[in-house]
Structure 1
């Protein structure tokens, strides 16, 4: 009787390194990772520069990178760029921190206790589909037009999404871990403190990283409310005067700040959870 003999597998040392890079969830050296990241960031800029240098677009509507850099330098020297960055950073991070402080316990309880889930999840799911921009008139009536209104818009834009994502992170904690702790006599509070939270922390950090990015996307909406400074306000003001180079500069600045924030969260994750590959 013949026995099926599978083809011999190549030894791991004989597999070319270039092929291992394309394995599903394969590893990259740090230098390769940085080179690819740099290429991914520079390629759109090079295409943009070539497009504008070839005269394929009206500079009024599509300024080149050199024009945007000149506008950025002028903004920095004469128009208070650092003040705009500082006030926008304050608004975004304050709204985000307030969302985090409230969403963490609510999401934890929604993901842990079914009665809380049944009570709060449908309402949260309903509100999260309402666009934050639609709340601008109400926010102006509720809290006026000072800084609290901008912060509240960012809070509304991030809080309800964050609650549901945190609840889902908590629900992903394996039930076997919870049952093992209960078998050993752990109380409900001990299960939450010693099992659920430690197990869900990496996912919770990723949720905060993602929702912090969403907070930046609501900046322009937040600064619609009677703002006189900030990156979003500068973009809206530049629109009225057809300063497309300044619009590009403001959008790119928000992207750069958001990218730095994202990398800061990743760095914190690598320090806090070194066993995870990030």
Structure 2
């Protein structure tokens, strides 16, 4: 074979190999349940936010939507900076964080033991889950009149509403997480001489913790969604109150600011839970 033929075939073979490698990488990236590099995940997530911002910009700057209903991103940014420069808005943020945290923690304190109990014993499951399944389909908003009768219109009313929105769901989710613990591990503990309480304490509770932390992470997101509803109950402070006050005067920029701040607070809390899960349970 002549030298000129080798010089023609080598680039062609390299190009084919490169094309096959590129095609394989693309096929690998689109495989079901396949992992992707962290860098690729971060870039893709950033692009998704940029796409949302681009759509918003096109609709607002192009005046395809009335500015009263959809302000431009720069006006919302200016309003955000103005709001965050005041101590009053930071007071709204602080009281909202307090309400969400209090309702969420109260739900965890009561729901986690009940969920573990219902997930461990079948009789407990039969006793606990049917009423929980029944109540969880009732909208939390429907409890507002009862909560106002029981707790008045103070802080407890808002905390109890967030608690009500989280508690019944959390019991069922914790019970489901508990039932996913391997029965072989429990039987092995009995073989080694453990009592029922020791099996719960040394096998079931440690085994359920990684899934439980993920469940709490999801539930905290739901707690933030109940914030606006909770702050409709005769509130004079909080992010929900600030949003409703802006709505009365058609101040759409401040409505967007409140929504964005709630989203950022929820995202920060979600990332904290994700970080704790990676640090505490790296094997999971």
Question: Normalising by structure 1, what TM-score?
Answer: 0.90
Task: Give the drift of 1:49.
Answer: 0.8
Alignment of 1:137 with 2:148, yes or no, is no
Match of 1:100 among 86, 98, 108: 108
Task: Give the drift of 1:183.
Answer: 2.2
Task: Give the drift of 1:78.
Answer: 4.1
Match of 2:47 among 39, 45, 48: 39
SS of aligned partner of 1:60: coil
In the alignment, what sits opposite 2:122?
A: 114
Structure 1 distance, partners of 2:87, 2:184, is 59
Alignment of 1:25 with 2:33, yes or no, is yes
In the alignment, what sits opposite 2:229?
A: 221
Unaligned ranges ≥5, structure 1? 1-13
In the alignment, what sits opposite 2:136?
A: 128
Structure 1 distance, partners of 2:209, 2:86, is 45
More helix by share: 2
Question: RMSD of the alignment, in Å?
Answer: 1.6
Structure 2 distance, partners of 1:114, 1:22, is 41
Structure 1 distance, partners of 2:62, 2:69, is 15
Alignment deviations for residues 119-139 of structure 1 (CA, whole Å, 9 cap, x no partner): 111111111111111111111
Alignment of 1:260 with 2:268, yes or no, is yes
Alignment of 1:208 with 2:216, yes or no, is yes
Task: Give the drift of 1:22.
Answer: 2.4
Alignment deviations for residues 115-161 of structure 1 (CA, whole Å, 9 cap, x no partner): 21111111111111111111111111111111111110000000000
Alignment of 1:232 with 2:240, yes or no, is yes
In the alignment, what sits opposite 1:8?
A: none
Structure 2 distance, partners of 1:39, 1:32, is 11
In the alignment, what sits opposite 1:194?
A: 202
Task: Give the drift of 1:184.
Answer: 2.1
Match of 2:157 among 146, 149, 159: 149
Query: How many residues are paired up?
Result: 264
Structure 1 distance, partners of 2:87, 2:140, is 29
Task: Give the drift of 1:91.
Answer: 0.4
Structure whose alpha-carbon radius of gyration is higher: 2
Structure 2 distance, partners of 1:94, 1:214, is 14
Structure 2 distance, partners of 1:78, 1:205, is 35
Match of 2:62 among 36, 54, 58: 54
Unaligned ranges ≥5, structure 2? 1-20
In the alignment, what sits opposite 1:5?
A: none
Alignment deviations for residues 166-215 of structure 1 (CA, whole Å, 9 cap, x no partner): 00000111222212222222111111111111111111111100000000
Task: Give the drift of 1:69.
Answer: 1.3
Alignment of 1:166 with 2:177, yes or no, is no
Alignment of 1:270 with 2:278, yes or no, is yes
Task: Give the drift of 1:26.
Answer: 2.1
Task: Give the drift of 1:246.
Answer: 1.2
Alignment deviations for residues 11-66 of structure 1 (CA, whole Å, 9 cap, x no partner): xxx78444332233223222222111111122101110111111101001111111
Match of 1:184 among 181, 192, 209: 192
